Amino acid sequence: MKFVVFCLFVITNICDDGKASVDNFAPTNDANVLTEFTKNSDSCHRPCKFNVKPQRCYYTFDVEPNLDDGTTLAINGLTPGPTIHACVHDIIVVQVRNKIPDQDLAIHWHGVEQRGTPYMDGVSMITQCPISYGSTFKYAFKASTSGTFFYHADSVAHQSDGVYGALIIDQPRHLEPHSSIYDFDKSEDHTLVIGARFPELLSASLEDLTKIAPRSLIINKEESDTKLFVTQTSGYRIRLVNAIALECPVLVSIGDHLVTVIASDGKPVQPVTTGVVRLYPGERMDVAVRADQPSAGYWLQVKGEEACDGLKARSMFLYSGFNYTSMLEDIPNEMTYDKNSIVCGQQLLSSKDVTSKSVVKSVYLGIEKNNIAVKDNELDFRYLSDVVPKKPFFPTALSLKEAVVQINGRNFLYPNAPLLLKPHDVFRDIVCNVGEESKHKDVQCMQVLTADVNGALELILVNEGFHSNDSYTFHMHGFSMHVVASWQSPAGLPLSREEFEKLDKDGLIVRNLQNPPIKDTISVPNKGFTIVRFNPGHGGNWMLECRSCSLTLPAAIVISVPISLPKAVVNSLPSCGSYKPADVLLN
């Protein structure tokens, strides 16, 4: 009977070309259907060929405390977790088992657009119910586009504790736009995932997490022992991933070598050659480097900035035949660079011109770190109910007396029921429309921006900087964005909405509508702005979030694009039972 239901679901999701679309692949409880994949996931790491039948790539992740290191969480005993390899159009199936005592979990696939599978995006109480301790959740989605991606826990604390790993989606070599620049793409050895280690488990700490600073940087799982082997005169593609959840940009360079940036966030760019690149949290960058120096060993160095200022990591860039033992006692010289030569992803140009729609809906998002005026007797730690008189609710996090980052003067509140799956169960009084947040009396509300399918959006993110000198990194779920403008006040002056609108009206803000970089992770400079455009071409509820801002109260919005999910799909997914997020229980 279940197999019949699945067949009916496929029939009701017919593509325009009259064939069942893999984009509409849905999970099912029918073991016969869901387990028709390759049992050995290693076989999915293969040379990708044209016109070859896609495979189903199966992985099992057990997420649990690392018994060998009490300060990390591990996936199958590894921190970072196993690298997922697939070819474009493969189906990736990952069964996640939560073995973290008394904690809930979800896994986000950073950069994967989830076309047709919005319920696989991995955001607790937005696209799914959280995976409770001892439970499993089976993610299944199509590898729809090639590029360098990664996965991580939806929780910033869990990600910081080590729940993350690389996700590489390849395509046939002749389809790679810059394959002529390099000779080898050894993603199994030349993918560098940059993380941070902390002195304790953030997810188990009762302390103020904003006070716990990272103690070191790591490349893959090492501070200094990762090795990249190369052959003289050959060119190599190296994939860089900044998997740090905090506001920790990193600088990367290879001693005596230049690198050519060929992709940012999985999207090809016009090649730019430099000595140093900067990656913001969640950003990925593919570079090509030619082994054109004397045969020896060189240090690839990573230097942290902002929250990771002063922290460093390094790996060995080794020519074939060189005995690297002499480097073990060698401390590399301090990374030297010209600040004006640093290449950042959102300053690049797309490798192809883009088409921009003439009618665009512009939305202003004012970002500011605010001190919330609240007295101790106004903080309410009780579980509230309908019989308790309503009054403005101040979250307990405000008892820390710390300023919080807000969007349009509010913090995000996660709903009481999964917004995508059970929209009618969500309490309506917690919802506030983006641009109308001032109508909501509480500090937190579920900020929703409603968009039309293929209705072009322009998001104007202004980091006003009246109360802070911090820059912030934002990640868009579900879509890639065209970064059409970015600017920071050269005089270091705050930027109000009125001042921005005057600059825009006077024609002083120039938008690149021809070949802007296409990204899912962007930086918004302090006392400046970043403007992005995109067409929401597929339905779902998609987060735009500042992950590094969310150690106290979340700074995010949900972009809601109309979608109607078949009842069979919703029913096949795990239910939340009596689960409610803590802030909802207290609100």
Residue 42's pLDDT is: 57
Rounded Cα gap, residues 59 and 44, in angstroms = 11
% of residues, the chain, pLDDT over 70? 88
- Of 22-31, 71-80, 193-202, 469-478, the least confident: 22-31
Residue closest to 551 by CA, chosen among 400, 430, 392: 400
The burial of 81, by beta-carbon neighbours within 10 Å (0-12 exposed, 13-18 middle, 19 or more buried), is given as buried
> Which spans in 109-180 are helix H?
156-161
Rounded Cα gap, residues 160 and 195, in angstroms = 8
Residues 44, 57 contacting (CB under 8 angstroms): yes
CA angle 293, 295, 299 (to 5 degrees): 75
pLDDT in tens, 344-396: 999 999 999 988 788 899 999 999 999 887 776 666 655 555 445 566 777 77
pLDDT band, residue 571 (cuts 50/70/90):
very high
Q: The tokens of 43 are what?
A: 């076989």
pLDDT in tens, 171-186: 999 999 999 999 999 9
% of residues, the chain, pLDDT over 90? 76
Residue 584's pLDDT is: 54
The burial of 494, by beta-carbon neighbours within 10 Å (0-12 exposed, 13-18 middle, 19 or more buried), is given as middle
Structural domains of the chain, with CATH: 37-175 (2.60.40.420), 177-351 (2.60.40.420), 361-586 (2.60.40.420)
Average pLDDT of span 506-518: 97
Question: What is the distance between the terminal CA atoms of the chain, rounded to a whole angstrom?
Answer: 42
Kind and range of the H or E run holding 140:
strand 136-142
- Of 73-82, 244-253, 332-341, the least confident: 332-341
pLDDT band, residue 8 (cuts 50/70/90):
very low
Residue 518's pLDDT is: 98
User: Taking every pair of C-alpha atoms in the chain, what is the biggest distance, in angstroms?
Assistant: 77
Rounded Cα gap, residues 141 and 494, in angstroms = 43
Q: The tokens of 452 are what?
A: 């039309």
Residue closest to 45 by CA, chosen among 7, 92, 4, 78: 92
Average pLDDT of span 401-423: 94
